[in-house]
Amino acid sequence: MRALSLRPMLPANEPVPRDEVGFIHEIKWDGYRLLSYLDGGDVQLISRNGYSFNDRFPNLAEYLRKKDLQAVLDGEVVALTKEGRVDFSLLQSRNSGIDICYVVFDVLRVRGEDLCPRPWFERRRRLEEMIQSEGPLLVSPLLSGSASDCLSFAIEQGFEGIVSKREDSPYLPGVRTSYWFKQKILRTLDCLLVGVKVDRRSVAVAVYRGDGALVYLGNVGSGLGQGELGFLTEALETLGKLTECPCINPPRDAHQWTWCKPLLVLEVEYLEFTSSGRLRHPVFLRFRFDKEPQACLMEV
pLDDT at 300 over 60: no
pLDDT at 52 over 50: yes
Which architecture, in CATH terms, is 10-184? 2-Layer Sandwich (3.30)
* pLDDT for residue 97: 65
Position 2 confidence tier, pLDDT thresholds 50, 70, 90: very low
pTM score: 0.73
Question: CA-to-CA distance for 191 and 20, rounded, in angstroms?
Answer: 37
Question: CA-to-CA distance for 173 and 140, rounded, in angstroms?
Answer: 19
CA angle 15, 281, 195 (to 5 degrees): 140
* pLDDT for residue 254: 92
Q: Which residues pair with 1 in a beta bridge?
A: none
Least confident of 29-33, 59-63, 110-114, 157-161: 157-161
Write down the CATH number for the domain with range 187-295.
2.40.50.140
Residue of 6, 8, 12 whose CA lies nearest to 165: 12
Question: What are the tens digits of pLDDT across the range 177-200?
Answer: 999 999 988 888 999 999 998 677
**CA trace torsion 16, 19, 21, 23 (10° rounding):** 20
Catalytic residues: 28
Terminal Cα distance for the chain, rounded: 51
Segment 158-184 mean pLDDT:
94
Position 1 confidence tier, pLDDT thresholds 50, 70, 90: very low
φ, ψ of residue 86 in degrees (nearest 5) = -75, 130
Q: How many residues does the chain have?
A: 300
Residue of 284, 287, 290 whose CA lies nearest to 268: 284
pLDDT at 3 over 60: no
Per the CB < 8 A criterion, the answer to whether 104 and 75 are in contact is yes
Average pLDDT, the chain: 91
Residue of 51, 104, 53 whose CA lies nearest to 76: 104
Domain ranges (residues) in the chain: 10-184, 187-295
Q: How far is CA 176 from CA 8, 11, 172, in A?
A: 9, 5, 8
Per the CB < 8 A criterion, the answer to whether 172 and 5 are in contact is no
